[in-house]
Amino acid sequence: LPEQEAFNIEYWLLEEAKLSRMPKPKSLAGRVAFITGGAGGIGSAIASKLLSEGACVVLADIDQVSLNEVTAGFAKTYGRDNVRGVKMDVTSEEAVVQAMNETALAFGGVDIVVNNAGITIAAPVEDTTLDLWNKNQAVMGTGYFLVGREGYRLLKRQNLGGSMVFICSKNAVAASPGASAYCAVKAGELHLARCMALEGAPHGIRVNVVNPDAVLRGSKIWQGPWREQRAASLRISQDELEEHYRKRSLLQRSVYPEDIAEGVYFFASDLSNKSTGNFLNVDAGNAASFTR
């Protein structure tokens, strides 16, 4: 640089302005994320966030219709090469192994695994049939185990570290009335994540948990019998539910799928490279107080 230019403040200000106009490198560029329940409310918000940060995303879901719709939407925005939908039942060992292997082949590996697919059927313990108990355990107990194990095996084989994020629930750490089977399986998911964090640490594999409070908007769970059952157990109408959850939180704010996605992004990215075996409640402060 000519000497007078090096000391010219205007020159440096101009350079800085030029830099600020240049596109910032995306923090997840070159990474591949595998998301179960990716066609659902929270799963598709997670996919959207990770795609916007530059990751390639595989959405694995049992619901072919929603899967086609969500995948096509993302393909339009982010390009066909960056997103893929896979019909998969998390309770099937064969299907999970196949989907994970196909993802690795198609994208050259996997860096981020999000365990999210879930159902919500619940009842007070005295009315919980064995069938209801088994359904919860199959999707969210066995399902989280199978996806967790296969994701872990793949990350370990690649020997490049990686991040696994489990979407559990505030019910992983606190009970809700009339939801014993759901609460029990969510607590199990959280503890599985901690055990895997322990085993994964020497290999650079981090495993963390995001615990959402009630997320009514966008969630298919809240369109089914769960909505009616929650309203009945709280003795309020279904229309009052969202307001009920908002009001009992410290921040007096509703929690949306996009809020959960921000938490997942934190754990999936290098922002959290010193965190493993942790959980983050995304609950507008609900868990902080016994009085609400």
Among 139, 164, 183, 205, binds ligand NAD (CB under 6 A): 139
Q: How far is the CB of 286 from ligand NAD (least distance, A)?
A: 11
Applying CB under 6 A, the site for ligand NAD has a residue count of 31
CB of 10 to ligand NAD, least distance (A): 52
Single residue of 164, 207, 215, 241 touching ligand NAD by CB under 6 A: 215
Q: Rounded to 5 degrees, what are φ and ψ at 72?
A: -60, -40
C-beta closer to ligand NAD: residue 42 or 51: 42
List, in sequence order, every residue forming a beta bridge with 266; answer none if it has no partner.
none
Burial class (CB in 10 A: 0-12, 13-18, 19+), 139: buried
Q: Which of 124, 130, 120, 234 is nearest to 185 (CA)?
A: 120
Residue 159's closest CA among 211, 205, 104?
A: 205
Cβ neighbour number for residue 88 with a 10 Å cutoff: 25
Instruction: Candidates 5-13, 87-95, 122-130, 265-273: pick the segment binding ligand NAD (CB under 6 A).
Output: 87-95
The Cα 271–Cα 111 span in angstroms is: 15
Q: Which is nearer to ligand NAD, 200 or 263 (CB)?
A: 263
**Of these, 11, 52, 54, 63, which contacts ligand NAD (CB under 6 A)?**
63
Smallest CA-to-CA distance from 277 within 262, 267, 269 is with 267
Please report how close the Cβ of residue 223 comes to ligand NAD at its closest, in angstroms.
8
Which amino acid does the sequence have at 44?
S
Element (H, E) at 135: helix 130-136
* Helix (H/G/I), strand (E/B), else coil: 218: coil
Please tell me whether residue 151 binds ligand NAD under the rule CB under 6 A.
no
Out of 118, 141, 148, 188, the residue judged to bind ligand NAD by CB under 6 A: 118
The residue at minimum Cβ distance from ligand NAD is: 40
Residue 10 neighbours by CB under 8 Å, 6+ apart: none
Smallest distance from ligand NAD to CB 89, Å: 4
Count Cβ atoms below 10 Å from residue 4 Cβ, excluding itself.
Answer: 8
Residues 39-58 that bind ligand NAD (CB under 6 A): 39-43
Query: Which of 78, 144, 182, 245 does the annotation list as catalytic?
Result: 182
Planar angle of CA 58, 153, 144, nearest 5 degrees: 60
The tokens for 280 are 């983050």
Give the shortest CB-21-to-ligand NAD separation in angstroms: 37
Stretch binding ligand NAD (CB under 6 A), from 71-79, 114-122, 236-244, 272-280: 114-122
Find the part of the chain contacting ligand NAD (CB under 6 A) among 12-20, 60-68, 261-269, 277-285. 60-68
Evaluate the CA torsion angle 264, 174, 286, 245 in order and state its sign: positive
Dist. CA 236–CA 161, nearest whole Å: 47
Specify whether 265 is catalytic: no
Contact window for ligand NAD (CB under 6 A) among 72-80, 124-132, 219-227, 236-244: 219-227
Shortest Cβ distance from residue 5 to ligand NAD (Å)?
A: 56
Q: How far apart are CA 117 and CA 36, in angstroms?
A: 5
Nearer to ligand NAD, 11 or 266 (CB): 266
Please give the residue ranges that form the binding site for ligand NAD (CB under 6 A): 36-37, 39-43, 61-63, 66, 88-91, 116-120, 139, 143, 167, 169, 212, 214-215, 219-222
Q: Which residues are catalytic?
A: 182
